[in-house]
Structure 1
Amino acid sequence: MDMVNNAPTAQAGSQEFRRGWGVVLAAMLGIGLGLSPVPFYTIGMLAPELRKAFGWEFSAMMVGLPIMTLGVLIVSPLVGLLADRYGVRRVTLVSIVLFSLSFMSFALNTGSIELFYLNWALMAIFGAGTLPITWTRAVNNRFDLHKGLALGLSLLGTGVFGFLVKPLTAWLIADYGWRAAYVVVGLLPLLISLPVALLAFHDVDGSLTNSADRRAALARRAAAAPGLTLRESLRDYRFWLLAVAFVLISFSVGGLIPNMENILKIAGFARDDIVALVSLIGLSVIVGRIAGGWLIDRLWAPGVALVMISLPAFACYMLADAQLTTSSARVAIVLIGMAAGIEYDLMAFLVARYFGMKSYGAIYGAQYGFFAFGAGIAPVVFGKAFDKTGSYHSVLTLAAVFLVLGAVALLGLGRYRRFDPSSAAQA
């Protein structure tokens, strides 16, 4: 009996992937080579070179991350609205090109810290369309039975390129210099993600070629799609609970990853050992993406988050240990990477399940702004704590507490909402 009942579901799930694999692949490459991971994973390698070239303080360079965060806070809701109105394909294609050019322009700096900060701001504005806000909308629209897994695979790119971009950047710096590293890494979105997106990235309105028809179809689908509007969501306690939870979680994970090299350095690890250890972040992000996506399809997502996001609290205490060993460092980094792996797809999944698809882009954009705020201020707070005390002990303890609080807060979201499916079918 179970086999008979499950056969249609299994068949429908396989049909989802047959129809939507191109969108998943394009999203994986676009997100992995977008604004979210590339500057975040490369700053730790490039900052020491900029310090040698221009004499800038490490904490001063880390100010670029909160500047990018502020830009994302301002622009991401607008990007979501544009994606809702004009379609995600147009927004992402334009943003890939502009993000690539703005990242490469860091190579033109001749020593002006003000120009360095301006470059971060422009990169945030031009590259906001490469954030998961746009890509995950198309994935959410095409998948239902395997929504969590599809989102996990789409966001897998952050782990893949997080694993590859650090050694690539280190090699480029060693052989060709930091300017060449900025140019080559900046070319990757143009050479890899843009061609695939042109061929394979289409939302459910992709068959329409006429702009007026597309806008009309998007308007009809938005009006009929089940879910809440942005204004309705702002009056819902779940919106603010989700925002607070992700500020706490993103602060902790966002402070740990860009400072990991320095955390390991003051613990006494050699340079080659540090490069080998930090590369584990990307691999564990991949594991977190796949495992997290598979689990939230089958289990209550806040419960899954409670386990996967609370465990890195122990990692913080391991890293704060004065007698940190290679084995404990590996365990700590893997736990942190897995938490980083589930963050984005968890946010996309929770927004879709608790607020629906009516204003998904705008709601996700607003939530991503809170997420970016926590991740953006964290590196500076971590750096200031180290500059003041010569240790990360106090801020690691704070991160551990924030991780537990953020994971527990998600439990307050309650059961998934059930929206009227008839309106979506009509759309």
Structure 2
Amino acid sequence: MTKRPQGYREFRRGWPIVLSSMLGVGLGLSPLPFYTIGVLAPHLHAAFGWGMGQIFFGITITTFVMLVAGPLAGYLSARFGPRPVALWSLLAFGLAFMSFALTNGSLQLYYLTWGAMALVGAGTLPITWTRGVNSWFEERKGLALGLALMGTGLFGIFSKPLTAWLIEGFGWRGAYVGLGLLPILVAAPVAFALFRNTDGDPLAPASTRVVEGLSFGETLRSWRLWLMVAAFIPISFALGGPIPNMENILKAMGFAKSDVIRLTPFIGLSALIGRLVGGWLLDRFWAPAVALVILCLPGLSCWMLAHGELSFLQAALSICLIGFAVGVEYDLMAFLVARYFGMRGYTQTYSLLYVCFSIGAGFGPAVFGWSFDRSGSYAGVLMVSVGALLAGAVSFLFLGRYRDEATPPLAVQAADALPAGTRA
């Protein structure tokens, strides 16, 4: 009988972790407010007269809260395991999101709701889910992460049309209630049934009984960690800024409302493809080289969106390139942490990087909105994003070989061409 490859055995054992993580991430704090605010913003503007910058500043509020909530979720996940943290957070996050329906015109209440949602929803972030996936997979770690995190792409495909349908049928307040029910009625029951910690689980891989790698304190002293921080912040700004503003970007370029509705779902579809293709590439090629290629593509998109009028096909291509890169960002982060630092201090390290990533992604939408409010155009901030993407992508090349790697993967030979002081 032909022996099954290790990757097959990993997926046979770990598919419940991947499926529950996919739904948990897709209906959690990371994508749900981010993908829907662009559709809801015009209705908030019409109801209360708020500017786009004021509305999108809610995402920035979540960034400030995440500076505390993200590491806290990571600590709790390391202390008690990711399962209970994720389950309780899904329930609380859904209720907090529904409370937007009570918005009464007070910006203070609106911002307070964003902050409360971020605080209780931090356990739904990839911080918890990727710890579970990384613990259950080794040979196909990149693909497993890509599949688990493609929940953001799946939700991105139908989130905007679903939100528009809910608004049409139940008003914007009803849309907030309907969307808030998704993590409670869909993600939480599946996670309760399928998502498991590795500790004490007889099906868990034997390798998880010994946690290898650097401690969090040792990781903090590594220059590679701070290089990742310096790279991810501008990247997250450049990728996070255009997506919530995409409806308004297309509208400012002269696209009809019907075309905007047809174009924006390409973000989620391309993000879904990015998850799968990116995970496959990360398992086979040197991750920094993969990041360089993939992250340069949205730079071209930002340049195209900033210059002149685009046809429908050109706009679709630009959106797809941005979405494809967005589909790779979180699994790239999780993959780099696991490969360069190991699993010993994984949760705390990933939490730190995620918070830093959230700084850029949190300020990006508001800065884009304010830029449009002041100038009536997105061209300037889009060009800034081009430079940010290129600088961040090139930075990854200096990471060198993976930790304790005797034989480098394909394409890592590029690292040998770097100055000697930059190689592992």
Match of 1:146 among 140, 149, 165: 140
Alpha-carbon displacement from aligned partner over 1:198-231 (angstroms, at most 9, x marks no partner): 11000212538xxxxxxxxxxx979x41111121
TM-score, normalisation: structure 1: 0.92
What is the match of residue 418 of structure 1?
A: 404
Unaligned 5+ runs, structure 1:
209-219, 421-427
Could you tell me which amino acid in structure 2 is paired with residue 405 of structure 1? A
Match of 2:31 among 37, 55, 60: 37
Match of 1:276 among 244, 259, 262: 262
Match of 2:216 among 230, 249, 252: 230
What is the match of residue 177 of structure 1?
A: 171
Q: Work out whether 1:305 is the aligned partner of 2:291.
A: yes
What is the match of residue 186 of structure 2?
A: 192
Partners of 2:45 and 2:380 in 1: CA distance = 26
Match of 2:77 among 71, 75, 83: 83
Instruction: Assess if the C-alpha contact under 8 Å between 1:354 and 1:416 holds in 2.
Output: yes
Matched residues, number: 402
| Structural mapping, 1:229-268, within 5 Å | 229-268=215-254
What is the match of residue 423 of structure 1?
A: none
What is the match of residue 425 of structure 1?
A: none
**Runs (4+) of structure 1 moved beyond 2 Å?**
none
Partners of 2:29 and 2:183 in 1: CA distance = 10
Partners of 1:103 and 1:242 in 2: CA distance = 31
What is the match of residue 10 of structure 2?
A: 16
Could you tell me which amino acid in structure 1 is paired with residue 106 of structure 2? S
What is the match of residue 307 of structure 2?
A: 321
Could you tell me which amino acid in structure 1 is paired with residue 295 of structure 2? I
Alpha-carbon displacement from aligned partner over 1:259-306 (angstroms, at most 9, x marks no partner): 111110010000010011011000000110000000000000110110
Could you tell me which amino acid in structure 2 is paired with residue 244 of structure 1? A
Partners of 2:72 and 2:229 in 1: CA distance = 18
Instruction: Assess if the C-alpha contact under 8 Å between 2:52 and 2:370 holds in 1.
Output: no
What is the match of residue 28 of structure 1?
A: 22
Partners of 1:395 and 1:142 in 2: CA distance = 41
Instruction: Assess if the C-alpha contact under 8 Å between 2:198 and 2:208 holds in 1.
Output: no
The 3 A distance-change label for structure 1 pair 28 and 78 is: same
Partners of 1:203 and 1:11 in 2: CA distance = 24
What is the match of residue 378 of structure 1?
A: 364
Partners of 2:32 and 2:58 in 1: CA distance = 13
Could you tell me which amino acid in structure 1 is paired with residue 171 of structure 2? G
Q: CA deviation at 1:113?
A: 1.0
Could you tell me which amino acid in structure 1 is paired with residue 300 of structure 2? F
Alpha-carbon displacement from aligned partner over 1:105-130 (angstroms, at most 9, x marks no partner): 00011211101000000000000000
Q: What is the percentage of aligned positions where both structures have the same residue?
A: 54
Instruction: Assess if the C-alpha contact under 8 Å between 1:356 and 1:419 holds in 2.
Output: no
Instruction: Assess if the C-alpha contact under 8 Å between 2:51 and 2:373 holds in 1.
Output: no
Partners of 1:351 and 1:165 in 2: CA distance = 30
TM-score, normalisation: structure 2: 0.92
Partners of 2:263 and 2:92 in 1: CA distance = 33
Could you tell me which amino acid in structure 2 is paired with residue 42 of structure 1? T
Could you tell me which amino acid in structure 2 is paired with residue 130 of structure 1? T
What is the match of residue 288 of structure 1?
A: 274
Match of 1:156 among 143, 147, 150: 150
Alpha-carbon displacement from aligned partner over 1:130-172 (angstroms, at most 9, x marks no partner): 0000000010000000000000000011000011111000011
What is the match of residue 126 of structure 1?
A: 120
Instruction: Assess if the C-alpha contact under 8 Å between 2:20 and 2:190 holds in 1.
Output: yes
Partners of 1:253 and 1:294 in 2: CA distance = 21
For the residue of structure 2 that corresponds to 1:115, the secondary structure is: helix
Match of 2:68 among 74, 78, 88: 74
Q: CA deviation at 1:78?
A: 1.5
Unaligned 5+ runs, structure 2:
407-424
For the residue of structure 1 that corresponds to 2:91, the secondary structure is: helix
